[in-house]
Amino acid sequence: KIVEFAPRMSRFKASPSQIASARVRDLQAEGRDIIKLTAGEPDFPAPDNAKRAVIELMDRNEIQYTPVNGTLAMRQAVQAKFKRDNGLVYALDQIAVGSGSKQVLFNALMATVSSGDEAIIPGPYWASYPDMVKLAGGTPVFVMAGQNEKFKMRPEALEAAITAQTKWLMFCSPGNPTGAAYSWDELRALADVLLRHPHVHILTDDVYEHLIFDGHKFATLAQVEPQLFDRTVTCNSVSKAYSMTGFRCGYAGGPKEIIAKMSNMQSQSTAGAGAVGQAAAVGALNGPQDLLAERAANLQRRRDILFEKLNGAEGLNCDLPDGAMYIFCACAGVIGKMAPDGRVIETDTDFTMYLLDSVGVAVVQGEAYGLSPYFRASFVAPEADLIRGGDLVREACAALS
């Protein structure tokens, strides 16, 4: 044994999507042509304003350490963004900036969660939430919603999950992996439950805010119910909205006391977010915003292509997602069937492996997000790949007996 690992490392396992990515890489290394419907990031270029901001930063040579809670320009840009897009008014000391929303979410949990604390996670969920809660020493409490509920948590289900130990509701709309977006009225109903339980704090992850389709209007909990403002941390980032994942810049607005502790947490791990990412984020947040709707329309077209293909496959069944960039497709109809090589498809993991091995299409099994038998297919891929990938999935399904 090289070293005795810390017990906290056994609280979570390598993510199934990482295992799937490794399998894709192996097949590619063997020379196989793989169509990847696994992307978790948009494929647009960074906005021109963001690029220019980086060049200007370089010219000014402002590449030193940044304040732990973010540069003043960044916090001002975030302040303006929350007001403009969400009607939320935060003071500058109510804003935190980190290396992606992932770090901001992590800081919030690490700063507040003790052993015995519970965090409610509506599922299907982004696989990082439970692991972050566990790393912080808390217990994830899942509230699952099926396809018949459009993958959205009902107010009664939230009410039933709340205990005296509930510290957080972790909330994400539009969500990963389902793309389900809650309407104002649906948020209103959840807010009514939360008003009855003042000890519950709300961590909303709004990263898919601008990836929203069919005229759906995005709303966030602190906006729908201003009485929740004082116990909500609203997280977001430039990653998905502006297709700037690699800049690693996320942010949050929330109660001053929580934001201060999140900064303390960050000060001993990574300190201030990178100067380049923040400058680019300021450029994007303060720049023209009309590209957001154009990009959403582009993604919506690609969604429709993949949707039509998957829904036509024997044994598969899906609904159109309201937002994000994924279709969460039911595959109950292929479970129990036999592949041409004699293998029986027993789980959604078996099915995704079958798709990969037989027709070279990569998707992620629903198990990774807490709900089976489903799989997540991303429509961030060139249209030609969506068409060909969709046709190959149909062929693979038709070959089952």
Say how far apart CA 233 and CA 175 lie, in whole Å. Answer: 17
DSSP 123: E
For the CB of residue 171, give the shortest distance to ligand PLP in the complex, in Å: 10
Say how far apart CA 127 and CA 367 lie, in whole Å. Answer: 10
Q: Which string of x and - marks every residue 12-51 that binds ligand PLP (by CB under 6 A)?
A: ----------------------------x-----------
Report the site for ligand PLP in 97-116 (rule: CB under 6 A).
100-102
For the CB of residue 368, give the shortest distance to ligand PLP in the complex, in Å: 12
Which helix H or strand E contains 140, and what residues bound it?
strand 139-144
For the CB of residue 98, give the shortest distance to ligand PLP in the complex, in Å: 8
For the CB of residue 111, give the shortest distance to ligand PLP in the complex, in Å: 17
User: Cβ closer to ligand PLP: 102 or 152?
Assistant: 102
Taking Cα atoms as reference points, which of 119, 131, 207 lies closest to residue 170?
A: 119
Q: With contact defined as beta carbons under 8 Å apart, do 161 and 141 qualify?
A: yes
CA distances 22 to 14, 40, 148, 163, 169, Å, are 11, 15, 33, 39, 32
For the CB of residue 203, give the shortest distance to ligand PLP in the complex, in Å: 11
User: Cβ closer to ligand PLP: 153 or 172?
Assistant: 172
Which helix H or strand E contains 286, and what residues bound it?
helix 275-286
Taking Cα atoms as reference points, which of 336, 306, 338, 340 lies closest to residue 321?
A: 306
User: Cβ closer to ligand PLP: 107 or 223?
Assistant: 107
For the CB of residue 302, give the shortest distance to ligand PLP in the complex, in Å: 18
Burial class (CB in 10 A: 0-12, 13-18, 19+), 213: buried
Q: How many residues bind ligand PLP (CB under 6 A)?
A: 13
For the CB of residue 102, give the shortest distance to ligand PLP in the complex, in Å: 3
Report the site for ligand PLP in 327-386 (rule: CB under 6 A).
none
Say how far apart CA 316 and CA 331 lie, in whole Å. Answer: 5
Report the site for ligand PLP in 46-75 (rule: CB under 6 A).
none
First-residue to last-residue Cα distance in the chain = 47
Establish if 237 lies at the interface with ligand PLP (CB under 6 A): yes
Rounded to 5 degrees, what are φ and ψ at 64? -85, 180
> Which residue shows structure tokens 């519950």?
200
Say how far apart CA 125 and CA 225 lie, in whole Å. Answer: 23
Establish if 81 lies at the interface with ligand PLP (CB under 6 A): no
Stretch that binds ligand PLP, among 48-56, 95-103, 300-308, 390-398 (CB under 6 A): 95-103
Say how far apart CA 162 and CA 250 lie, in whole Å. Answer: 29
Q: With contact defined as beta carbons under 8 Å apart, do 103 and 255 qualify?
A: no
> Which residue shows structure tokens 């969709």?
390
For the CB of residue 178, give the shortest distance to ligand PLP in the complex, in Å: 11
Establish if 239 lies at the interface with ligand PLP (CB under 6 A): yes
Report the site for ligand PLP in 145-184 (rule: CB under 6 A).
172, 176
User: Cβ closer to ligand PLP: 201 or 240?
Assistant: 240
Please report, as a single letter, which amino acid is at residue 2: I
Report the site for ligand PLP in 205-234 (rule: CB under 6 A).
205, 207
Say how far apart CA 126 and CA 124 lie, in whole Å. Answer: 7
Torsion of CA 282, 283, 288, 290, to 10 degrees: -80
User: Cβ closer to ligand PLP: 265 or 396?
Assistant: 265
For the CB of residue 100, give the shortest distance to ligand PLP in the complex, in Å: 3
Establish if 264 lies at the interface with ligand PLP (CB under 6 A): no
User: Cβ closer to ligand PLP: 102 or 309?
Assistant: 102
User: Cβ closer to ligand PLP: 166 or 378?
Assistant: 378
For the CB of residue 380, give the shortest distance to ligand PLP in the complex, in Å: 11
Establish if 121 lies at the interface with ligand PLP (CB under 6 A): no
Among 82, 126, 326, 328, binds ligand PLP (CB under 6 A): 126
Establish if 322 lies at the interface with ligand PLP (CB under 6 A): no
Contacts of 44 by beta carbon, 8 Å cutoff, 6+ apart = 243, 295, 298
Q: Which residues contact ligand PLP (rule: CB under 6 A)? A: 40, 100-102, 126, 172, 176, 205, 207, 237, 239, 245, 250
